[in-house]
Amino acid sequence: MEDDQGVCRAHAFPQALFLLLSLVLSELSHPEAKPLDFVCVSEARKVMNKVKDLQEDLAQCSAAAFLPAPVRIPCIRVNIMTWKSKPIPEHRAEILQSLQMLAQDIHHARNGSQAECACKLLGRLEHNINNYIHTLTQLHSQSGLDRPKVPDPSVQHVSQNLSLILQRFDLLISRKLEWLVSEMAKECETKTAT
C-alpha cells in the first residue's frame, strides 16, 4: 500500500480485493458461473464471509470500536410463516436493501473516522458488504425479473458499536441469506447435473 497518510482510500483497495475474490471464486468452478456458484457451492459462500477476519482486526484496533456515526441495524429475524408466503425475488430484494443500507451507513462512518486502522477496517467491511450486493444483484438480473418493490428495510435499532454491527451483519449473511440460498438452491441439481 502506498498510502499511509491515514486518509481513507475510496476505491483502490476494494477493487484489488474484488479482483482477488473473483479469482478465488472462479477457481472454484466455471468462471462464467459465479452467481450460480454462490447459490450452489457452499464453500464459495464461506470464502466470501469475512466477518471472522474483521473481528480479529477489530480486536487490534480500539479506535474502530465506537463508530463516529450511527449505523442502522437491519432486522435479521426470519419468521417461517411469513417467509413462505413471499416469493424468492421479494426476499432477495429485501436482503439487498438491508445490505445497501448497511453499506451506506458504514461508508458514512468510515468517512468520519480518523485512525488509519479504523479506516482500513471499515473499508474492508464496506467492500465485503458490496460483494454481497454485487452477487445478489447479478442473481437478480439473471432471473430476468424486475426488482420487486419492497417496503423500506425494517430497522431494528441503530448502533455505533462495531462489534455488535459485525455480529448482526454475520447473522444477516449466515442466517437470513442462507435461508434465501436454500430456496434458490432447488435449481442447482437441474443446472449442474447437465
Ligand X SMILES: *[C@@H]1O[C@H](CO)[C@@H](O)[C@H](O)[C@H]1NC(C)=O
Residues lying near ligand X in the complex (CB under 6 A) are found at 108, 111-112, 161, 163-164, 167
Query: Would strands 66-74 and 155-161 be described as parallel, antiparallel, or unpaired?
Result: antiparallel
Nearer to ligand X, 28 or 171 (CB): 171
Residues forming beta bridges with residue 159, ordered by sequence position? 71
Q: Shortest distance, CB of residue 107 to ligand X, whole angstroms? A: 6
Q: For residues 36 and 55, give the distance between their C-alpha atoms in angstroms, rounded to a whole number.
A: 28
Nearer to ligand X, 29 or 55 (CB): 55
Nearer to ligand X, 127 or 140 (CB): 127
Instruction: List the grid coordinates of 86.
Output: 413471499
Q: Shortest distance, CB of residue 110 to ligand X, whole angstroms? A: 9
Instruction: List the grid coordinates of 123.
Output: 473499508
Q: Shortest distance, CB of residue 99 to ligand X, whole angstroms? A: 18
Long-range contacts of 177-180 (CB under 8 A, 24+ apart): 177/95, 177/132, 178/45, 179/78, 179/83, 179/91, 180/88, 180/91, 180/92, 180/95
Q: Shortest distance, CB of residue 69 to ligand X, whole angstroms? A: 8
Nearer to ligand X, 12 or 19 (CB): 12
